[in-house]
Amino acid sequence: LLEVRDEVLEMHQGGKIAIRSRYDISSISTLRRVYTPGVAEVSLKIRDNPALARRYTSIRHLVAIVTDGTAVLGLGDIGPLAAMPVMEGKASLLETLTGLSGMPILLDTKDPDAIVETVVHMAPTFAAIQLEDISAPRCFAIEERIQARVDIPVMHDDQHGTACVVTATLLNAAKATGSDLGRCRIGVIGLGAAGLALAKMLMFRFKNPVLGADIAADALERLKNAGGIPSDLKAIMAGCEVVIATTGVPGLIKKEMVRKGQIILALSNPNPEIEPEAALAAGAAFAADGKSVNNVLGFPGIFRGAVDANVPRITREMLTAAAEAIAAFAPPGEIVPNPLDKALHKSVARAVARVALEQGLNRDDLTGYFD
Which residues are known catalytic residues?
35, 90
**Backbone torsions φ then ψ of 245, nearest 5 degrees:** -115, 130
Residues 102 and 179: their CA atoms lie apart, in Å, by 39
Give, in order, the Cα–Cα distances in Å from 318 to each of 104, 154, 279, 309, 315.
25, 13, 33, 12, 5
Side chain identity, residue 161: G
Query: How far apart are alpha carbons 8 and 19 in whole angstroms?
Result: 22
CA nearest 86: which of 126, 132, 131, 128?
132
Helix 342-359 vs helix 80-98: crossing angle, to nearest 10: 90
Amino acid at 58: S
